[in-house]
Amino acid sequence: MSELLSVKGLKAEIEEKEILRGVDLEVGDGEVHVIMGPNGAGKSTLGSVIIGDPRFEVTGGSVFFDGEDITGESPDKISKKGVFLSFQNPIEIPGITLGNFIKTALEMKTGERIKLWDFKKKLKETMEVLQMDPAYAERDLNVGFSGGEKKKAEILQLLMLRPKLAILDETDSGLDVDAVHIVSKGIEEYKKQVGGALMIITHSTKILESLKVDKTHVLVDGEIAVTGDASLIEKINNEGFEQFIRKED
């Protein structure tokens, strides 16, 4: 498979505290990569820095996407190239409805006005996949949504925006068994419909059950400590991260 994302020696800091200390990672077209690691290892930071979160300063290395250097680019430009980040804690935006937000994002992506009727039809169909009440489309974005509904709203955006690479930052955290099942179905649907690549940041393996994982990376203290295949997930589940932390020491 051709290379879609290439992260080389990526270093990043926030308020002069170094979080990423030289991350190397390559994701091919349509591949599924899992990022695991102990709390505070820098997993979420990696996702944020790839999509250009301005809170972080890139102090070294580079990020290439689809052959283009996107290091230091603004999030909107990176997003338009086809990168999507599903937030661990999506913010609430009073006044902007979920439907209007997605429609605007789609129009920004395509550069064209979208017919309201066509959009509403597609949105309703997609919400059905995620068992979302269509009334949520008219509600202010994430305002008063439960944790599960917020995560579903993120996956709804993923399915509507159809990016080439989706970074899912602990999309399954805080969800009950049923919600994890629905969100997993949404991710499966993304693979089926779009065939895009996935970078899944997770502590849990439930969300991975229906996916064919190509590579697993263990991030420890801002660096990839080890990369393996899907079997590494099982190993971590049984033995934890301690072996990698010790290796670091």
With binding defined as CB under 8 A, does residue 220 bind other proteins? no
Q: Smallest distance, Å, CB 134 to other proteins?
A: 19
**CB nearer to other proteins: pick between 196 and 224:** 196
Report the alpha-carbon distance of residue 132 to residue 181 in Å, rounded.
13
Q: Hey, which residues between 66 and 95 contact other proteins (CB under 8 A)?
A: 74-76, 79-80, 84-85, 87, 90-91, 93-95
Q: Cα separations (Å) of 193 from 79, 119, 168, 185, 190?
A: 19, 17, 17, 12, 5
**CB nearer to other proteins: pick between 76 and 209:** 76
**CB nearer to other proteins: pick between 201 and 208:** 201
Q: Smallest distance, Å, CB 74 to other proteins?
A: 6
Calculate ∠ Cα 187-192-198, nearest 5°: 45
With binding defined as CB under 8 A, does residue 116 bind other proteins? no
Surface-to-core class of residue 113, CB atoms within 10 Å of its CB (0-12 exposed, 13-18 middle, 19+ buried) = exposed
Q: Smallest distance, Å, CB 39 to other proteins?
A: 21
Report the alpha-carbon distance of residue 192 to residue 211 in Å, rounded.
11
Q: Which of 21, 26, 45, 43 is nearest to 203 (CA)?
A: 43
Report the alpha-carbon distance of residue 125 to residue 130 in Å, rounded.
9
- Whether 123 contacts 151, CB under 8 Å: no
- Whether 23 contacts 41, CB under 8 Å: no
**CB nearer to other proteins: pick between 44 and 216:** 44
- Stretch of 48-56, 62-70, 128-136, 211-219 contacting other proteins, by CB under 8 A: 48-56
Exactly one of 105, 114, 226, 245 binds other proteins (CB under 8 A); that residue is: 105
With binding defined as CB under 8 A, does residue 55 bind other proteins? yes
Per CB under 8 A, residues contacting other proteins are 51-55, 74-76, 79-80, 84-85, 87, 90-91, 93-96, 100-101, 104-105, 108-109, 157, 161
